A = this chain, B = another copy of it.
């Protein structure tokens, strides 16, 4: 038997028993849809293959798409909204980087020091996920994971694919406070998936 430790949408520490290893990802999807998360976001953010980005199942990490008041699709994770940014490939003499898609937000005063990344100027940001290189893994797709986990038979709602983000070579802080979501706890109701406010 396995046991996975979550922080619930209410901030509680709850461990869930899992009968078989092959059920683990489905249990993560199930509770992830409620806004529960397990473990910490790695320093620098999660890293996934670029080919997983179009249909990535954000519930795997307790996140979900959300359309902000300006109509932009963002990713909500533990009450923070992350914006999609496309990073073009760099191929200069000093630096070679494949193209990538990154989900990040401006740093807030209460963010711990080690999560803040310096960008140009004074701006600091925090990355949730980086999609770059790699080889697609079907187990990360939103269309995966139905029904193999015992006891959670509810049908999974269809999920909007991540939006085509605008090109933003440099990270930007969330510029208007209005766009700061208040969904830390409200995030847990699947039915309100599009409007946490």
Give the number of copies in the complex.
Answer: 5
Are A186's CB and B47's CB within 8 A? yes
**Does A24 lie at the interface of the complex (its beta carbon under 8 Å from any beta carbon of B)?**
yes
CA distance A90 to B83 in the complex (A): 24
When distances are taken between beta carbons in the complex, the residues of chain B under 8 Å from A12 are 4-5, 24, 28, 38-39
Q: Classify chain A: how many residues form its interface, as a range.
A: 35 or more
List residues 55-99 of chain A with CB under 8 A from any CB of chain B: 60-61, 78-79, 95-98
List residues 154-189 of chain A with CB under 8 A from any CB of chain B: 176-178, 182-186, 188-189
Given contact pairs A48-B186, A195-B135, A4 touches B10 in the complex (Cβ within 8 A)? no
Are A11's CB and B40's CB within 8 A? yes
Interface residues of A (CB under 8 A from B): 1-5, 7-8, 10-18, 21, 24, 28, 38-44, 46-49, 60-61, 78-79, 95-98, 100, 108-112, 114-115, 117-118, 130, 132-135, 137, 140, 176-178, 182-186, 188-189, 192, 195-197
The 4 closest A-B pairs by CB, nearest first: A12-B38, A47-B184, A133-B197, A43-B110
* 21 A–B contacts from the bound complex (CB under 8 Å): A2-B14, A2-B15, A3-B15, A3-B17, A4-B14, A4-B15, A5-B13, A7-B39, A11-B41, A12-B38, A43-B110, A47-B186, A49-B182, A96-B176, A100-B182, A109-B117, A110-B114, A135-B192, A135-B196, A137-B188, A137-B189
